[in-house]
Structure 1
């Protein structure tokens, strides 16, 4: 008797059918959105905004789980190993997704391009340099001058973070000797600046905007090619005659590779639709966030690949070391 083995087409059809059936029942349990940052950071804010809307729209619980540490690599590696069933997602950003693999090639336990599938961009924001009120610094130029005459430190969200790499690139190009003080999250760095125990911090705009508006700290530069509509009086580095380094952080939702296409597409459509509503747009403005570019999952994957390549080249060209 001749045995008949299923053809590759039959196997593919079976896999597709299983994926479609799984997606049809999704979400059948609470979904966890892992945030590889400490509470209060921009990624955490974005994740909680999205989780609340998805919970309402999909009639199922969406829980945010903060897993900070190692510049976002701990939480990211956790999701890379998670079961690809749509029940574990990752709210990622430029630091852990595009920068960390280039800075820590031996210690990064995931490959951003092969371990994840893109769902949708969720927001972006430029990096801002801010100083403490007790520092006596009045401008970015003043900060550079003072750093060359006295010992000064800057805080970041941790080694390998976008904030850290941005400042190290500036130090290398402008040649000013600020000492890096890594924290577990940007909220700790900001607290040190507010308490006048640290002179400078670099961070995305949302965690800083309230303190800037309240004159509790002073923003001296926006690291982007254009000014921010939220703090229009703060100049860009290009305007100040310094290197025109653009450091805009993206935030996006991704899933473990192998997550059913139907689930990914459902989430993509849900996120795009929520960002189109006036109510959610107002939430974005209240957090000083730039709305995302609408992309399909395939287009978002291409964007992520481009960011990984771009920051890899930046790290190589600047010869930045964090060891």
Structure 2
């Protein structure tokens, strides 16, 4: 009698335990999916979100709606996704800034690594070191020397505190032992306007947004931030090649979900992204953004995110750029 009661109780607990888990149908997705873009409409992150959403919709046979939730360097949108059910119906288009957010924002209500599951990469975009066209430098080495001769006097711009341009600039200062002043803007467009106008000396902007200004001769491009030369700028050296040994910065975009995403759903999303990368329309979109395609296997990408987070925490701590 006692043994039967124990077995019955154990069975009931098992059922209750299953009831406590989110119900994920084998037919996932059975309803529309929301992809949160944590920045304003029209920017690179938003455009990337809409491009991959369309491809996911094609591959999964279900509507994928992009919802913009901007604020605090992308952390408002990330926090929203972290609080959502881990059923695969709410996803985040994350980027490199989310890996640095823990060091930049001390009052975050979520942890990028423990509250979200990184699934796979969507794209990798190099930044380009660009200078005002009137600046008397034409190489990375000349810019480094120019700044060293004017400690604390040379300004560089970014799209804001914690933006990829800001992280790139601080990494350059740290790697080359430079003393340059950071000027944050509310977006890449006003920053570019001031660079062209001569109120800034240099910037490290996304290849996609800088390409038109480079092609138009409005700014001079000196190098790319990735360890390998960028296919969009094959003649530009990497900063590593050009005299800043070991310099490496890539603006990456990825898909993330609330922690606890069922493995079978993660696999379906990953496989859909891999197929999307082979779609001519997606390839054309990425080419227009000077981006390399993603589709990194989940296990490999999770390790990459851990390494990236550690790297940016170390940089932010050493450069004293953390926010409250």
Question: Same-fold call, TM > 0.5?
Answer: yes
Structure 2 contact 124–292 (Cα < 8 Å) conserved:
yes
2:319 is the alignment partner of 1:305: no
Matches within 5 A, 1:221-232: 221-232=223-234
RMSD of the alignment, in Å? 2.8
Cα distance in 2, alignment partners of residues 244 and 46 from structure 1: 28
CA deviation digits over 1:232-289, x for unaligned, max 9? 2222222222232111222110011133433322221111111123443233223211
How far apart are 1:315 and its partner, in Å?
A: 4.0
Name the structure 2 match of 1:80. 82
Distance 1:246 1:44 in 2: 25
Using the TM superposition, give the Cα deviation of residue 319 of structure 1 relative to its aligned residue in structure 2, in angstroms: 4.5
User: CA offset at residue 306 of structure 1?
Assistant: 2.8
Residue 89 of structure 1 aligns to a residue in which SS? strand
CA drift at 1:40: 4.3
Work out whether residues 118 and 256 of structure 2, in 8 Å CA contact, stay in contact via their aligned partners in 1.
yes
Give the distance between the partners of 1:197 and 1:125, measured in 2 at CA.
26
Match of 2:115 in 1: 115
Q: Contact conserved, 1:35 with 1:75, CA < 8 A, in 2?
A: yes
3-state SS in 1 of match to 2:24:
helix
Of the three residues 16, 24, 27, the one matched with 1:24 is 27
1:166-315 correspondence to structure 2 within 5 Å: 166-295=168-297, 297-315=298-316
Deviation string 1:83-141 (CA, Å, 9 cap, x unpaired) is 33333211111112x2121333x223221111111222111122221123354543333
Q: 2-side partners of 1:170 and 1:119: how far apart?
A: 30
2:6 paired with 1:5: no
Larger CA Rg, structure 1 vs 2: 2
**Matched residues, number:** 316
Bigger shift: residues 187-196 or 264-273: 187-196
Give the distance between the partners of 2:216 and 2:57, measured in 1 at CA.
33
Q: Say which SS state the counterpart of residue 5 (structure 1) adopts.
A: helix
- The answer (yes or no) to whether the contact 2:122–2:294 under 8 Å persists in 1 is yes
Aligned 8 A contact 2:240 2:248 in 1 = no
Aligned twin of 2:124: 124
Q: List runs of 5+ in structure 2 lacking aligned partners.
A: none
SS of alignment partner, residue 20 of structure 1 = coil
**TM-score, structure 2 as length reference:** 0.84
